[in-house]
């Protein structure tokens, strides 16, 4: 059985974007080469990626072109290759087609389809998107969080989870520090009944 792992850059107040539509490109982020190389290593280790429509369209717009852009550093081109070639599931009620090794899951049974994917997959399945992560958390399917915390307090903006109002018990599995005060914490989610 696979594990769903929600992997996200966050501020100290657990915001994932300050301005709607900044799509992970806010000035508050301190993404260095060493940090991006860690993203690459984690990305290479994924059995699959599951992404909501908004995050998928953001990734789709940039990463396939980045892998062939000689003006970019090698670690960015490498992530472009990782994202483009990885098996992906796009969770969307509106998209009907997608490229880049992607299949679409939608409809009223999307969470059931994702539960089946988790059951039949060996390894880690990366999760992208707050709405999707919240739905998986509510269904008891989210297994881990990997949070790259940047030393900023945004005060407003998109939260890590959408309207989740129950306590979440976590166990720290791993932590690491990067340049410019960024830390990574990997937590197991206790999915107890």
Label residue 157 by pLDDT band (50, 70, 90): confident
Residue 46: which CATH number? 3.40.430.10
Counted domains in the chain: 1
Q: Where residue 104 falls among pLDDT bands split at 50, 70, 90? A: very high
Whole-model pTM: value is 0.92
pLDDT (0 to 100) of residue 26? 75
Mean pLDDT calculated for residue range 88-105: 94
Note the pLDDT of residue 150.
97
For 62, the token pair is 């940039």
Structural domain range at position 104: 3-189
Q: What is the pLDDT of residue 166?
A: 82
At 21, the pLDDT band (50, 70, 90 cuts) reads low
% of the chain at pLDDT higher than 90: 83
Separation between Cα atoms, residue 105 and residue 77, nearest integer Å: 28
Contacts of 126 (CB under 8 A, 6+ apart): 5, 7, 42, 43, 46, 48, 49, 50
Distances (CA, A) of 47 to 53, 68, 120, 177: 20, 23, 11, 25
Which residues are within 8 A (CB) of 43 and not within 5 positions of it... i.e. 6 or more apart? 79, 82, 83, 86, 126
């Amino acid at each position: 059985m696979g594990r769903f792992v929600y992997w996200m850059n966050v501020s100290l107040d657990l915001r994932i974007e300050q301005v709607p539509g900044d799509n992970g490109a806010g000035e508050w982020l301190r993404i260095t080469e060493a940090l991006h190389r860690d993203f690459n290593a984690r990305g290479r280790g994924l059995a699959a990626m599951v992404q909501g429509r908004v995050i998928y369209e953001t990734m789709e717009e940039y990463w396939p072109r980045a892998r062939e852009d000689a003006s970019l550093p090698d670690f960015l081109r490498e992530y472009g290759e990782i994202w483009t070639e990885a098996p992906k599931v796009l969770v969307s009620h509106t998209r009907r087609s997608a490229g880049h090794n992607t299949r679409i899951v939608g409809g009223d049974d999307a969470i059931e389809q994702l539960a089946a994917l988790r059951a039949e997959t060996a390894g880690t399945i990366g999760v992208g998107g707050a709405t999707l992560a919240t739905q998986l958390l509510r269904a008891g399917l989210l297994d881990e969080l990997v949070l790259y915390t940047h030393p900023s307090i945004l005060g407003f903006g998109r939260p890590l989870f959408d309207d989740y109002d129950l306590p979440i018990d976590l166990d720290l599995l791993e932590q690491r520090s990067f340049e410019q005060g960024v830390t990574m914490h990997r937590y197991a989610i206790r999915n107890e009944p």
